[in-house]
A and B are shown apart, each in its own frame.
Chain A
Amino acid sequence: MSTKDIETQEYIPDHLLDEPTITPVIRPGHTFGTVTDKISAIALTRKTPRGWYIGFAIAFALAMMLFYSLAQLVLVGTGIWGLNVPVAWGFAIINLVWWIGIGHAGTLISAILLLLRQNWRTSINRFAEAMTLFAVACAGIFPVFHTGRPWLAYWLFPYPNTMKMWPNFRSPLMWDVFAISTYASVSALFWFIGLIPDFATLRDRARSRSGQVIYGMLAMGWRGSARHWHRYETAYLLLAGLATPLVLSVHTVISFDFTIGITPGWHATIFPPYFVAGAIYAGFAMVLILAIPIRKFYGLEDFITMRHLRNMAKIMLATGLIVGYGYMMEAFFGWYSANQYEGFMIRNRMTGPYAPFYWALIFCNIIAPQILWSRRMRNSVPVLFITALIVSVGMWLERFVIVVTSLHRDYLPSSWGMYRGSFWDWSTFIGTIGLFVALLFLFLRFLPMISIFEMRTILPQAEVKEAKE
């Protein structure tokens, strides 16, 4: 990637860097027409670049590896994973938490920033929401296949059945079923609702008959009526208002999976907010990892400007510090609790066999991102990209450490053991990354990756001037 970003070429005094006039959320000179054309052309007319085919092929191959690994799992059984007593929760829960966390940034960008009237969100919300959906899809694979008999997964839902059995609603795993399925449904609705006006644009601009028909069906006859827009805006705001507490609740419920039990290292009241912050942290890292190459590759620097990247870096820094606060509280209360098992767990985490993972995660999540305090660094695209990669790795390690160190040495030393992922664990995990990227490639190719109608609203021309009477 080229290190030369237009805005870093000339010297700008530090205190002016954040001035909207210097880095606007949309490069000046655009009109309703040019915004529409530039974004819709990617889905409609532009020749699919060769890089797209290569990238998609790689991602698709990895996704096939995922399906092969899952087929293997179904044929042979969960024994092919590295799970065993005492560590009966391994990669499946780690990857579930990791993927769900990544999804959270998408909802945060589309819902919370909308409520806070941060209009810079407009050019990144669409693909961030897509990212949410695909991440939740990847996350969902793990618990469903972890059951060993995924074809019976519907037993998790409460429905009248001939066995006269009902689920146990006191179990946080049941809460998970509701939280994740609600989250997936609401994210999908939010995404689809946001797309309707843009489907109409694509319908009206598609030249091929198939494009017209398909986009036309998806647009559901949207015609941009003022009455429709009014209700549409209300619905969108209400959805944002609902999605905001929802996204917090999802990772909170995920944290309840751990905290509701009494395992040392898991039973901590700080978990809910600290898991939520960690989720947003990892999610923004992923948005940066995706946004930086996409804007370069598709030439979208006019729409995804340095201001977006800097703001995301700031959010990462803030949430990263909250995560650091969580680690500190765990360590302090490990000692303060005066509970020997809590104390042992923390010592074992820091100095036991998994200590290198612990210190690696401290480096990745706490030490490395401190570089973002510097404005110069926040303004450097390669630094942001590398930091985001480090944070993504760090957040995976965090979940690994939380899950494994609390389990592998429990109350009874004779049952201590070690855990490592098997080949199939890794192939499933890497396979979900392939699936995620493959879905993202399809999205970039066929749907407007930036919300066209919302981009029109943030142009200066969109303002209605006072009547000159």
Chain B
Amino acid sequence: MKEEPSPIYGLMAEFDNPTEIVAAAHRAYEEGYRNMDAFTPFPIEELSEAIGFHHNRLPLIVLIGGIVGCLGGYLLQYWVAVIEYPLNIGGRPFHSWPAFIPITFETTVLVAALSAVFGMLALNGLPRPHHPVFNVPNFKLASRDHFFLCIESKDPKFDRKQTRQFLEGLGGKVSDVELS
């Protein structure tokens, strides 16, 4: 009985130093591949550029978070001290703006920091307990000292045979990324 080759997530090439994987990613990008990703044990600035990832919305999210925290903190204090619960304390004006600055600052930082962390996780799609790339036998080493480049099957240029040849030509050890 002939077996249909089961669909795969992509092809994974394995390298053992940062220089090689950056060069490989550059080559793949030049070749026209776009749906690819690299997996490394530490951040490599050149690599995200090599796979064509520049756009990063995180600073904007954090800025918005900061503005929300700032306005929210100040308005909360204003509303409480002037509108909802005005109390004369030591003859200070209800709207004691200098005294409201410290808390405004703290809420700004708090909301901005929360947006940085949760914004990063959300944009990265984490937590995500399982992902097809974990099926690659050697992938455990991606968190130690190996560097992986994955070209995904959804890439329009992806062809199981040619892509494999291309990746092998780059000098990496290539394996299938099973879907499950």
Contacts and interface: CB of A to CB of B under 8 A. Distances in A.
Interface of A: 31-33, 36, 158, 164-172, 174-175, 178-179, 182, 185-186, 189-190, 193, 197, 200-201, 203-205, 216-217, 220-235, 238-239, 242-243, 245-246, 249, 252-253, 256, 453-454, 456-457, 461-465, 467
B1 interface: no
A190 to B, nearest CB: 8
B103 A246 contact: no
Interface stretch (B53-61, B155-163, B166-174): B53-61
For the residues of A in contact with B, the DSSP-based class is helix
B9 interface: no
B145 A224 contact: no
A221 B143 CA distance: 12
A229 B87 contact: no
A320 B169 CA distance: 60
Nearest to A467: B23
A201 B41 CA distance: 8
B52 to A, nearest CB: 10
A170 B40 contact: no
Interface in B41-55: 41-48, 51, 53
B56 A230 contact: yes
B102 A220 contact: no
A462 B48 contact: no
A232 B84 CA distance: 42
B164 to A, nearest CB: 21
Interface in B76-123: 76-77, 80-81, 84-85, 87, 89-90, 92, 96, 99-100, 102-103, 105-107, 109-110, 112-114, 116-117, 119-121, 123
A233 to B, nearest CB: 5
B78 to A, nearest CB: 9
B34 interface: no
Given A169-B77, A178-B102, A234-B58, A221 B41 contact: no
B163 to A, nearest CB: 18
Contacts of A175: 102-103, 106
A227 B102 contact: no
A168 B87 contact: yes
Contacts of B76: 158
Interface of B: 17-19, 22-23, 25-26, 37-48, 51, 53, 56, 58-59, 62, 76-77, 80-81, 84-85, 87, 89-90, 92, 96, 99-100, 102-103, 105-107, 109-110, 112-114, 116-117, 119-121, 123-124, 126-131, 133-134, 139-145
24 contacts: A36-B41, A169-B80, A169-B99, A171-B89, A175-B103, A185-B110, A185-B114, A203-B143, A204-B144, A221-B129, A222-B143, A223-B134, A224-B142, A226-B40, A226-B44, A226-B48, A226-B53, A227-B48, A229-B40, A239-B113, A454-B42, A462-B18, A464-B47, A467-B26
Contacts of B102: 172, 175, 178-179, 249, 252-253, 256
Given A170-B89, A230-B48, A224 B103 contact: no
A200 B142 CA distance: 9
A464 B44 contact: yes
Contacts of A223: 39, 131, 133-134, 139, 142
A222 B125 CA distance: 10
B89 A220 contact: no
A221 B119 contact: no
Given A170-B92, A221-B128, A465-B19, A230 B53 contact: yes
B46 A464 contact: yes
Contacts of B23: 467
Nearest to A201: B143
Given A169-B99, A234-B56, A189 B40 contact: no
B120 A182 contact: no
Contacts of B116: 235, 238-239, 242
A456 B99 contact: no
Nearest to B113: A186
B126 A464 contact: no
A453 B41 contact: yes
Contacts of A190: 113
Contacts of A252: 102
A294 to B, nearest CB: 23
A246 B58 contact: no
A456 B120 CA distance: 22
Contact of A464 (B18, B53, B77, B92): B18
Contacts of A172: 102
B149 to A, nearest CB: 9
Contacts of B120: 193, 231-232, 234-235
A418 to B, nearest CB: 30
A387 to B, nearest CB: 33
Contacts of A224: 39-41, 142-143
Nearest to A225: B37
Contact of B59 (A32, A201, A234): A234
Contacts of A243: 113
Contacts of A216: 129
A238 B112 CA distance: 9
B103 A245 contact: no
Contact of A169 (B100, B133, B139, B144): B100
Nearest to B93: A170
Nearest to A224: B39
B171 to A, nearest CB: 13
Closest 6 CB pairs of A and B: A220-B127, A32-B145, A235-B120, A229-B43, A230-B48, A204-B140
Contacts of B53: 226-227, 230
Nearest to B105: A249
Contacts of A225: 37-39, 124
Contacts of A164: 85
